[in-house]
Amino acid sequence: MQILHATSWPYLSFQTTKQHSKGGLLLERCLQPSTANCFFQLQKLERSIWVSHKRSIFSCFAPKAASVEAVSSATSIGTAEGDVLKALSQIIDPDFGTDIVSCGFVKDLLIDEASGEVSFGLELTTPACPIKDMFEQQANEVVARLAWVKKVNVTMSAQPAKPIFAGELPAGLQRISNIVAVSSCKGGVGKSTIAVNLAYTLAGMGARVGIFDADVYGPSLPTMVSPENRLLEMNPEKRTIIPTDYLGVKLVSFGFAGRGRAIMRGPMVSGVINQLLTTTEWGELDYLVIDMPPGTGDIQLTLCQVVPLTAAVIVTTPQKLAFIDVAKGVRMFSKLKVPCVAVVENMCHFDADGKRYYPFGRGSGSQVVQQFGIPHLFDLPIRPTLSASGDSGMPEVVADPQGEVAKTFQNLGVCVVRQCAKIRQQVSTAVTYDKSIKAIKVKVPDSEEEFLLHPATVRRNDRSAQSVDEWTGEQKLQYGDIPEDIEPDEIRPMGNYAVSITWPDGFSQIAPYDQLQMIERLVDVPQPTPVQS
């Protein structure tokens, strides 16, 4: 076994001690070099899985290129296959107005005309899709209406979790589809309560979920959940962290690394956060919820820069003072190109004697929505059970999954799923290359404008150190260095703010959307190049 120290590696180190009976290694944190051998004994871990499937009226799919994988039986199925796909194309994704065949959801089509049996899969973009049951029912119905069909077998599945962003992500983050920050920039507004209950709501919808408690000075996660294994373990060969688990949700917090909260300076805290987040073996996750610490300092900037955040949920309370601090956080996310998809106004009101009272005033949440254009607002009442559940180690949505609070979180969960899917779709199609006209198409997320750029112009406008001297500003890349007929090999999203363009010479150019919008545009659109037969 090895013990974690906060004095090296470079921030957390490991000291050899006895091996745990399960083969893992206990992970601990010591504040001073002299503080050693400070660990708790692991108890036997018996995980229970909480599953609470719920339905909703919203969609969570992101359209992509049509790719139906049809597998034929011994009988010719040309016409039969067309009939089935035509029937399935009647099912429209309500968010994007595109049928499920064009979206590429239909997989492994098998048809046996002799017996009238049709089998296929619907591969969704996330297992937490709120309307997956509706799609399954509609698929059964439309195919069963075909005259020759006697039996329909539909298999529901979801795509493997994976990020859409380019760049060399740390190994632990490479199989996470969406990273959602829950932030308030002000302490005491119930941000951790929102983060934990949102995570368990998403898990209840069928998603694979993890929670990262980014507050080193005052970690809340160890109080709000009750895993039997309350110490993180380490994989000695890979030197990676193995998260603990509670009710099927993976958990990482500095509070599970030894002695609760830290006493250390900012740069070291940022290093610890970076190390805990990026060296953890998260595995395949649909959503990683990050419980952000208060403020807009080093830790927040580190998190926003180290990981490609998909979206943020903003938490506030009705007071004017809360709005002032929250506004700082929204502006920070705006500068870092992280979309804020929802506002949760906590501790809004309580009901007594048939009346509703607003002890802290009204309007902070709606003010955030109106001033910053955040599309969705959710309010939570002052509820003793919500506070008590956080102190008891069992989230409210688990303790009372049919209650009023759980319904609000269910709506918030549906909103997060839906908005993340839309963001992923917008980001993945923001910058593409059209070979037929030899032009780069740009449609920046949250913008209706679409324009064309000449590939050579984009390449010549690179502002990296390889093209421009960082000290003198001298242009090292000359106009004639780039051939006029250059074409990109690959274009991939990089966070919510830029794309990575790989060129034939092996150069990888980082092109922020802001820069692309300033480049000279193509006015005379080239005619499409005829396809060679």
Integer Cα distance of 6 and 271 in angstroms: 10
Q: Please state which CATH number belongs to domain 431-518.
A: 3.30.2020.30
DSSP structural state of residue 44 = P
Quickly state the pLDDT bin for 15 (edges 50, 70, 90).
very low
pLDDT single digits (tens) 210-260: 999 988 887 889 999 999 888 888 888 888 999 999 999 999 998 888 655
Lowest mean pLDDT among 74-88, 238-252, 347-361: 74-88
Q: Which range is least confidently modeled, 25-29, 108-112, 276-280?
A: 25-29
Least confident of 34-48, 306-320, 336-350: 34-48
User: Per-residue pLDDT averaged across 472-481, rounded?
Assistant: 87
What is the rounded CA–CA span in Å between residue 313 and residue 340? 6
Q: List, as one string, the DSSP characters of 324-361.
A: HHHHHHHHHHHHTT--EEEEEE-S--EEETTEEE-TT-
DSSP annotation string for 92-133: EETTTTEETTTTT-EEEEEEETTTTEEEEEEEES-TT-TTHH
pLDDT score, position 9: 42
More confident residue, 209 or 67: 209
176-425 CATH: 3.40.50.300
The CATH number given to 80-158 is 3.30.300.130
pLDDT of residue 504: 93
The amino acid at 175: R
Domain boundaries of the chain, sorted by first residue: 80-158, 176-425, 431-518
Q: What are phi and psi of 195, to 5 degrees?
A: -60, -45
Least confident of 71-75, 261-265, 348-352, 477-481: 71-75
Of 73-87, 105-119, 130-144, 226-240, minimum mean pLDDT range: 73-87
Nearest to 329 by CA among 305, 312, 317: 312
Residue 532: pLDDT band (50, 70, 90) is: low
pLDDT confidence tier of residue 12, bands split at 50, 70 and 90: low
Mean pLDDT (the chain, rounded)? 78
Residue type for 214, please? A
Query: What pLDDT does 266 receive?
Result: 60
Question: Residues 187-198: what's their mean pLDDT?
Answer: 87
| Inter-residue contact 157 to 266 (CB < 8 Å) | no
Helix (H) or strand (E) holding 235: strand 233-235
Give me the torsion for CA of 193, 196, 198, 203, rounded to 10°: -160
182 pLDDT band (50/70/90 cuts)?
very high
In this structure, the strands spanning 106-112 and 244-246 are: unpaired
Question: What kind and span of H or E run contains 181?
Answer: strand 176-183
Instruction: Report pLDDT digits (tens) over 431-457.
Output: 999 999 999 999 987 777 889 999 999
Q: What are residue 98's DSSP bridge partners?
A: 93
pTM of the model: 0.76
Top mean pLDDT of 82-91, 216-225, 375-384, 463-472 is at: 82-91
Angle, helix 298-306 to helix 266-278, in steps of 10 degrees: 30
The residue assigned the tokens 């509609």 is 138
119 token code pair: 């089998």
| CA-closest candidate to residue 365, choices 377, 374, 356 | 377
- HSE-up of 66 (CA within 13 Å, CB side)? 8
Q: What distances in angstroms separate CA 201 from CA 207, 244, 246, 315, 392, one per listed residue? A: 9, 19, 14, 17, 18
Does the pLDDT value for residue 485 go beyond 60?
A: yes
Closest CA to 214 of 249, 253, 250, 188: 253
